[in-house]
Structures are given as structure tokens and as C-alpha cells.
Amino acid sequence: MLEWLKTILGEGYSEEIDKKVSEEIGKGFVARTDFNAAKAELKTARETITERDGQLEELKKSGGDVEALRAQIANLQKENKQKDEEHANALKELRRDAAVEKALTGAGAKNLTAARALLAAFLEEAEVGEDGTVPGLEEELEKLAGAEDTAFLFAPKETGPSLAGAKPAPGPGKLPTAGNDPSKMNYTELCAYMEQHPGAEI
């Protein structure tokens, strides 16, 4: 939800306007969470390159003892593999956090922290798909938004008034569809008939 938009528009604000503005903003800008994830990934890559350049320099200084060099290289490979796994897991978590925040915002969550806490069990096994979304997350959010004890955490979706089955009253000068037989008229037609024929017997 774009709170700043609500402040600007006041009573003119609606969920529909919020959604459309969010969509248009999304076309020209990167989401803050996506930006932070990319920034963290770049920082990690730079740190890794600097660290491994330093390791190579240390190896150059270690002299010509082949066995010592082999042992040192094997140790560095093991340490680097572990660090690579840690970095990969951290980036995976960042991507997942970005996807979850985006989904919560799209679902109208009023408090992202509180709503996310209810997803803790689901998110333990959740993975981010190739499209940047978390499979099954949308369904989980729909359940929360529809449940009695958690619906208050989500903004209600606006729906327009239903006019199904409504019949417009005949305009001035038009006869009711049932002709001039009041016994066959519905309430609306009867009212229109009485206006056109004051004093008529029913």
C-alpha cells in the first residue's frame, strides 16, 4: 500500500488507484528489495575477488615448497567452497525476502512484519522460482486474508456495488411493460402506472 498516495489524495484514494499507480511505478523503477538484493550480491562478489587476490599474493610469497603449497591450496579451496555456499544461501534468502515483501504488499498487508510472522512455517521450505515469485505463497496469503482471525491484517479488496437483477423504472411517457393491466405489473411498473394514471382503480 502506498501510504504517501493516500496522504496526497485523501478521500479520492482507492485501492484501485493504489494498484494502478504501483503497476506504473513498477514499469520504470526497480523495487527497493530487488535493488538491495542486487547491491548485496555485487558487494559479495567484490569482496570475494579482493579476498582471493590476497590469497594468491600470499601463495606467491610462500616460496618454492611444493608440498606446503599444495596443502595451502587445498585448505584455501575448502574454505572458499564453504564461503561460496554461505554467500549463495545469503543471496537466496535476500531474493526470497524480496519476493515475500512484494507479495505481501500486493495482497494488501497492513503490517508486513506481522503478516510475515504468520508465514514462518511455510517459508522454512519455500524457494524462489525462476520468475522471482515463491510458489504457493499467493494461496497462503489468500487463506490468511480470508480467515476470521487474520483478515484484519489485510486491507479489504474493494468491489463495486452489484446491480444484478435491478430493473430501471420506466421513464416519463413510457408505458409499463405489462401494458395497462395492473394485475400483471410488478411494484416498479405499478408505481409508474399510478404516476401516469392518477386516480386509476387497481
Domain boundaries, the chain: 31-153, 164-202
Please say if the pLDDT value at position 65 is more than 80.
no
Query: 18-57: per-residue pLDDT in tens?
Result: 777 766 665 555 566 666 777 777 787 778 887 877 777 7
Instruction: Give the residue-averaged pLDDT of 183-197.
Output: 73
Q: What is the pLDDT of residue 122?
A: 87
Question: Please, which residues have CB within 8 angstroms of residue 56's CB and are 6 or more apart in sequence?
Answer: none
Between residues 100 and 201, which one has the greater pLDDT?
100
Q: What is the pLDDT of residue 55?
A: 75
Q: Is 47 helix (H, G, I), strand (E, B) or coil?
A: helix
Shortest CA distance to 119 belongs to which of 94, 92, 95, 150?
150
Please say if the pLDDT value at position 17 is more than 70.
yes
Please say if the pLDDT value at position 109 is more than 80.
yes
